[in-house]
Structure 1
Amino acid sequence: MNPACTHIVDDDEAIRDALEWLFKTRGVSCRTWPSGERFLDVWQPDWRGCIVLDIRMQGMSGLECFDTLLARGCQLPVIFITGHGDVPMAVSALKKGAFHFIEKPFNDHDLVDLVEKALAADHDRQRVAASRETIEARLATLTQREREVMELILEGKYNKVIADELSISMRTVEAHRSRIFDKMDVRSAVELAQLLTVLRT
């Protein structure tokens, strides 16, 4: 898995250099890109971290770059750098899923704080995705009958009721319940229900 990185996309070399210096002094790993086109040329879907994107650039604008990233399924948090007149556009980007925007001239510490929040948000997203994959892998080990029993367990039904509904013995239900708990790595129906809520978020 790639390490988290803050990608600075800005067509102003002086700003790129200043932001790169700022982030590195605060221990934030970063890379700089001179245009939206250049960034899109190299962007990979498994990248982790966040993007600091200037809203107005020569050639492709920050908004156009953002729209292309969304179309490609990019889930990295995006922080827009905006001028005063760009705030309505930035608000529109927020509605599309941008993480935040910061208006020029901005306080260096405010920007770094925003980036650190964005990096934390991406880390949380990755953690949830990893949990989801783990849970789905456990579910895949269940037999069809175990899935049927599990659904009835999640409905809060007692073993006797489950046995009657599935026309099997109580002993068989108990054996299925035990195997379900082992495979899903839980100790109770409550834990099982809590585990599966991850898949519904």
Structure 2
Amino acid sequence: MAQTVHVVDDDSSFRTAVERRLRQAGYAVATYPSAQQLLDNLPDENKPGCILLDVRMPDLNGSELQDRLALVGSILPIVFLTGYVDVPTTVRAIKAGAEDFLTKPVSSGQLLRAIEQAMAHYETSRDAKRKFDALHELLATLTPRERQVLDCVVQGKINKQIGQLLGATERTIKAHRHRVMEKMKVQSVAELVSLAERLGILASADVEGRNS
């Protein structure tokens, strides 16, 4: 599947030049004259890609677009381009997850290295998202009571304590616990705790435990 670079820049001559350079390097290219146009036509994240994004644009600037994309859960890596060296903006963008920050005029070698790195990062992010989504699908198979048992188990409570807390016998809790392990496809409590950490369950369960 072709890797697509989404070029967002209000300078039409720059878009044309970069598109030509990237196509010669074997990339598919989509161009957008504004940040809003990309938001209105969000790229398909199932297709390998990255965003080459100008910082200074009218209406919605590059940093604001980065924030909007984060809000919708975009995993497409962003390579920023700027004609002005602005250290605070650079630091902010990198802290917010930008792949790289290039200064115009940028050499073909520097640009292509940044794009190649961003594409590699996309593959890693996509794989991680697929695994995370698969875990959420497993979590959704639990009944409300099984979910309560899961929360208690990852807090370190034993069957007797869980039974007292939920008003059930140890035998019943043991059966629920067994089904939780089966549905979450784990063999040990350690594995279950690890999944809970990845899903953000452990932190919320700890807070609930302290507040109860």
* Partner SS, residue 142 of structure 1: coil
- How much has 1:175 moved relative to structure 2? 1.5
Figure out how many residues of one structure are paired with residues of the other and give that number: 195
Paired with 2:88 and 2:162, the residues of 1 have a C-alpha distance of 56
Match of 1:55 in 2: 55
Instruction: Compute the displacement of 1:179 (Å).
Output: 0.7
TM-score normalised to structure 1 length? 0.74
Structure 1 contact 82–90 (Cα < 8 Å) conserved: no
Aligned-partner Cα distance in 2 for 1:169–1:93: 53
Kindly, what percent of the aligned residue pairs are identical? 32
Query: 1:172, 1:53 → 2: CA distance?
Result: 56
Where in structure 2 are the equivalents of 1:122-161 lying within 5 Å? 122-161=122-161
Following superposition, the deviation at residue 4 of structure 1 comes to 5.2
CA RMSD of aligned residues (A): 3.4
1:36 — aligned with what? 34
The amino acid of 1:9's aligned partner reads V
Unaligned runs of 5+ in 2: 202-212
Shift of 1:50: 2.0
User: What is the CA–CA distance in structure 1 between the aligned matches of 2:67 and 2:92, rounded to whole Å?
Assistant: 11
SS of the residue 1:187 aligns to: coil
SS at match of 2:61: helix
- CA shift in 2, pair 1:88/1:170, >3 Å: closer
Any conservation in 2 of the 1:80–1:90 contact (CA below 8 Å)? no
**AA aligned opposite 2:41:** W
Instruction: Give distance in 1, aligned partners of 2:116 and 2:51.
Output: 11
8 A Cα contact 2:2 2:27, kept in partner: no
Q: Which amino acid aligns with 2:50?
A: C
**Structure 1: which 5+ residue stretches go unaligned?**
none
Residue aligned with 1:190, SS:
helix
Are 1:64 and 2:40 matched, yes or no? no
Q: Is the 8 A contact 1:55 1:86 kept in 2?
A: no
